[in-house]
Structure 1
Amino acid sequence: MKKQQLAIIFHSAHGHTAHIAGHILAGARSVPGIEAHLLKAEDLTSAPDRLLDYDGFVFGSPTYLGSVSGTFKTFMDATGRLWKSHALKGKLAAAFTVSSLPSGDKQSTLLSLFVFAMQHGMVWVGNAILPEQRSGVPEEEALNRLGSWSGLMAQAGHSAPADAFPPGDIKTAQLFGANVAEALLRMACSEKEKVTA
């Protein structure tokens, strides 16, 4: 079976979102049968048809004032003609976001990305990772320490270096990438079974 193509599409103004995207990429690439790529949202705005080359997407944006960044929204708007033909229908979608505060209204950003994916008829994958604090792991080291199931949330302090994330956020990003990749493979196997049935 051909490798499934997964695009991690993101905007990062200060490097934090890019850093998390890189760990999601590493997690996705750890899954045999997946070919994963990092793509900048701003590079796709003038060429949204490039999305047709992929089987699934992980969308990532920093949370600015409770939503995606202006750059990421411009990319979303550029996919309008693909929406008219439902060209992305049935493709897998997931999302992540980063902010400088533990909450920061990140849920609003994930909901914006969810609605975007639903309008295109995509199949959504959440973040099925149980928070480890409940089993005694220190909060900074815990998987899904921010308790998000609709997508991945990560937090870096205000004006912190791009790689200044708690270990738990890094581990969560890698596992999230692997989980999304595995979901994409299961979806591909299911489609193959339908064709051969």
Structure 2
Amino acid sequence: MKKLAVIYHSAHGHTEHIATHVAHGAKSVSNTEVHLLKAEHFVNSPDELVKFDGYLLGSPTYLGGVSSQFKAFMDATGRLWRTQQLKGKLAAGFTVSSLPAGDKQSTLMSMFVFCMQHGMLWAGNPFLPEQHTGVPYEEAVNRLGSWSGLMAQAGHSTSAESFASGDIKTARMFGKNFAETLHRISCRTAETHLETLHDS
């Protein structure tokens, strides 16, 4: 059983909506325990992160970066960085803004650098945009064309569910792919460990 945490901040419910679909996709992989948790939860208890095998990180994009609440979560992990307690764990990122671009790449890059400083491994969003195969744009997987992480567009509606169906489909596939990758890495690590023991 692998324990996975979907850690997010959401001011208006949009990022939370995507987070639930990411978690749903991850839960579809057998032997995966998925926890949907707000970033604020870890500000005063960052040590709880250690019990998870992987992290799916989500934040809205505000002025080209993560929200202040999500940044507070990142900053709270300082003592874990000093002891490299998150080294080798798998991570990925997702973000939401109201525009197709909205400088969401900057948000994903800040998450990536955060994870690299902790010595983590990074999983991207390995799906070709389906609109190039004739799927209607709003229904297409990875319609926004992001491979470094998951991007979703909330639109200007106040509804937390105002997403194109393609973004929802992508979120579920993103979560499923992450969980599958986590299991593959874990299996390979175990095989390597056994080979090392055998050789010694």
Q: TM-score, normalised by structure 1?
A: 0.98
Task: Compare CA radii of gyration and give the structure with the larger one.
Answer: 2
* Paired letter, 2:122: W
Which residue of structure 2 lines up, in the alignment, with residue 127 of structure 1?
125
RMSD, aligned α-carbons: 0.6
* Ranges in structure 1 where 5+ consecutive residues have no aligned partner: none
Query: Which structure 2 residues correspond to residues 181-196 of structure 1 after superposition, within 5 A?
Result: 181-196=179-194
* Paired letter, 2:146: S
Moved over 4 A (4+): none
* Paired letter, 2:104: K
Give 1:191 deviation, angstroms: 1.3
Aligned residues: 195
Give 1:160 deviation, angstroms: 2.9
Give 1:195 deviation, angstroms: 2.1
Structure-2 separation of matches of 1:182 and 1:80: 29
Query: Which structure 2 residues correspond to residues 1-197 of structure 1 after superposition, within 5 A?
Result: 3-197=1-195
Give 1:155 deviation, angstroms: 0.4
* Paired letter, 1:134: H
Give 1:159 deviation, angstroms: 3.7
Q: Deviations over 1:95-152 (max 9, x none)?
A: 0000001100000000000000000000000000110011000000000000000000
Q: TM-score, normalised by structure 2?
A: 0.96
Structure-1 separation of matches of 2:108 and 2:54: 17
